[in-house]
Structure 1
Amino acid sequence: MTFSIATAAIVFALIFPVELPDKTFIATLVLATRYPPLQVWLGVASAFLVQTAVAVTLGGLLSRLPHQPVQILAAAMFALGGLLLLRGASKADAEEAEAEEEFAAKASAPATGLRAVGASFLVLFLAEWGDLSQILTASLAARYHDPLSVGVGSFTALALIAALAAALGRTVLRYLRLATIRRIGGIVCLLLATLTVIELVR
């Protein structure tokens, strides 16, 4: 199995703006106020690693199907993701407050060490299962026929977002509006859907 730095970089650039305005960032931020930030990051990153592995495995299986149906499915997933992000952009601030309350309740008991890592893993794993980033990762793995490169790019983006949230969460939110980031992510997804359709037509 070969590894392509270019493919990994493309996937990173696509996943990062899509996942940054997601509940993942808020959940990690809240967890980092309850538990040691490094232990939160280890738990959250571990959850992302498992979820990414499942997504690229699914994408790898899809890539074995006839090329045209796979491309149609990928274009549909990108378009759906873009529309969902754009539609939810205006509600981003309200959803941020709701997400903070939700995850604060789930992480009410203080913990350290492996308990903090395990609690962070469990909260993110259950909350983000079937998340948009997973769907996009599977679609990208099917589109590029390169699960390893897609997996590395996707996991790196998710792990970096978790690190930013754990270390600089409030500072990031002070300078970046979630609604704006969500619109950028939506445009990126729609652009990718358009490119996939152009490839199909050709």
Structure 2
Amino acid sequence: MSKWITLAGEGEPSLETSRWITLAGEGEPSLETSRWITLAGEGEPSLETSRWITLAGEGEPSLETSRWITLAGEGEPSLETSRWITLAGEGEPSLETSRWITLAGEGEPSLETSRWITLAGEGEPSLETSRWITLAGEGEPSLETSRWITLAGEGEPSLETSRWITLAGEGEPSLETSRWITLAGENGPSNEPSDAKMTRVGIAQKTTPPLPFLSCIL
């Protein structure tokens, strides 16, 4: 799968591996592989092929076809595949599809649904699903559920489980597990099961029940 998560900073986790790569500058991840391409400059290699694509300017050739796409702006669609390129700015890739989501601004469409989520701030794509979690502000809707999670503060409920995770500092929660990855500095993501997984019993007093009425706003 083309799982990956871009978490903004100097060093970021690669995709589908536990390797650590440095994203200082314009570099963005390719998709469906753990390869990375750097899009800073006038001309850079395409992804997964040896073709060359020039990303400077308003309109440039696509890769793998003769179609012409406009690369000016924050995020642009990939072509004919689930691959895509990030053109330096706010855009981030959707996962496992060729759809694009532009994260510039306060509210943007989610991926693969028609729901609207607020991605300004700390929001990042989840991995292994097309769900998004919005980390900006005090409380934001989760996606694909009607649960409301508050990510501000020291300890907050995880998503889709009753596990409790600590969001203080640079760390952000992994998804679909209770694993914790630290994004401060050059430390890589945890890729082993967490020794600190909390049981439902241990956190029963901390978890926040879902708010079913929020489904109507999603």
- Normalized per residue, the structure richer in helix is 1
Asked if Structure 1 and Structure 2 have the same fold, meaning a TM-score greater than 0.5 normalized by the shorter chain, the answer is no
For normalisation by structure 1, the TM-score amounts to 0.27
- Give the structure, 1 or 2, with the largest relative contact order (CA under 8 Å, sep 6 or more): 1
For normalisation by structure 2, the TM-score amounts to 0.26
- Normalized per residue, the structure richer in strand is 2
